[in-house]
Amino acid sequence: MAIPLSFTILLLLLLAPAIISSSPVVKDPELVVQDVHKSINDSRRNLGFLSCNTGNPIDDCWMCDPNWEKNRKRLADCAIGFGKQAIGGRDGRIYVVTDPGNDDPVNPRPGTLRHAVIQTIDGRGANVHIAGGPCITIQFVTNIIIHGLNIHDCKQGGNTIVRDSPSHAGFRTLSDGDGVSIFGGSHVWVDHCSLSNCRDGLIDAIHGSTAITISNNYMTHHNKVMLLGHSDSFTRDKDMQVTIAFNHFGEGLGQRMPRCRHGYFHVVNNDYSHWVMYAIGGSAAPTINSQGNRFLAPDVRFHKEVTKHENTPQSTWKNWNWRSQGDLFLNGAFFTPSGAGASSSYARASSLSARPSSIVDSITAAAGALKCRKGTLCR
């Protein structure tokens, strides 16, 4: 889809060849959990683990390095959760965007973001806004990292020819107007972005997407925030595995933080400071493991419940495996658990260890696009 741009200084992209897959290969969830923990420990040992003692393992992995600009590829080794294997452009060349104009969707000029945007988008050290149009679509590709962008005011667009690789351009139908749309994608990591006010969802993942981490984002001023799953009847989404960690769900949000259909979801150490209808919902027997989050209920007496079982009778949803462990509930907020609580089910919906909910404010303090300057720590 066309991506209108507005940015003030250079944006650096890490590129690697796109890997196209219409049917992503998904590991057994139990093995994913084991691999994630092993990979986190191994990568930290290899990196020397630059701990800032924030309790946020992603930020502590790279943010304490004043030479981050010279070590950009380190970021790709800091992912956690189900999207841990998203290496983006770590093994590719560095591409510097120098031209803020010529956003030609068919024949983009070298030096533009359109010409470069196939793999990792690393917005550190720049003020990058993707807004006013269809924004970002990740369709049938894998190994994608999106980091450090402001994504807002996204609208519908399409029904036109769009180039999606150096060698291919094709017709794209009308988009929904999501901030980030993940369609049949796998191994995707969206980190430290600020998202608001889009036509449809801020981040949606559908049509067999899996192996996704959504972390350290700051989301505001939007109704239906995050939809994970195409439809209740699209059973291929049963392979979906998503980690939602260290995000700040801020002012002006309505619902779907997230709304889950099929699959396994770990919602861990997020700060929920506002919702209108509910925070976490589901509709097709998803497994939801909520750990170490902070939920501040709205003042409206009838909307203090964190959970919602979308249009489903209790006789059905009472068997869904939803649990809250170590969450902090404020201003009357409450979580309605369900299911037998089988440990194996929750293990499949877990991808990292939760920190205490009492430190969620410090863990999420840097959520959203960062202000990074060369030679200093990112904050």
pLDDT for 47: 36
For residue 177, what are the contacts with CB-CB under 8 A and spacing of at least 6? 134, 135, 154, 155, 156, 157, 198, 199, 200
The reported pLDDT for the residue numbered 55 is: 85
Residues 6+ apart with CB under 8 A from 288: 260, 265, 267, 280, 282, 320, 321, 322, 323, 349
Decide if pLDDT at 209 tops 80: yes
User: What does the pLDDT look like over 123-154, one tens digit per residue?
Assistant: 998 888 999 989 999 999 999 999 999 999 99
* DSSP summary character for residue 303: G
Whether the model clears a pTM of 0.95, i.e. scores above it, the answer is no
Residue 143: predicted pLDDT: 92
Whole-number pLDDT of residue 117: 79
How far is C-alpha 339 from the chain's CA centre? 27
Determine the distance from the C-alpha atom of residue 364 to the mean position of all C-alpha atoms in its chain, rounded to a whole number.
14
- pLDDT bracket for residue 22 (50, 70, 90): very low
E strand or H helix that includes residue 147: strand 141-147
Annotated domain spans of the chain = 5-363
Q: What is the pLDDT of residue 328?
A: 98
Least confident span in 214-228, 279-293, 331-345: 331-345
Helical (H) or strand (E) element with 59: helix 57-62
Predicted pLDDT at 308? 97
CATH class of the domain defined by 5-363: mainly beta
Tens digits of residue pLDDT in 39-92: 433 443 343 344 477 889 999 999 888 899 999 999 999 999 999 999 998 998
* C-alpha to C-alpha distances, 248 to 38, 98, 217, 244, 363, nearest whole angstrom: 27, 32, 6, 11, 10
Answer yes or no: is pLDDT of 184 > 80: yes
The average confidence (pLDDT) of the chain is 85
Q: Tell me: pLDDT of 30 over 60.
A: no
Average pLDDT over residues 9-29: 37
**What is the reported pLDDT for 118?**
60
Residues labelled as active-site residues: 256
Q: What is the pLDDT of residues 260-288, one digit of tens each?
A: 999 999 999 999 999 999 999 999 999 99
- Greater confidence, 243 or 106? 243
pLDDT recorded at residue 119 = 60
- CA–CA distance, 46 with 306 (Å, rounded to integer): 39
Most trustworthy range by pLDDT among 30-39, 52-61, 167-176, 194-203: 194-203
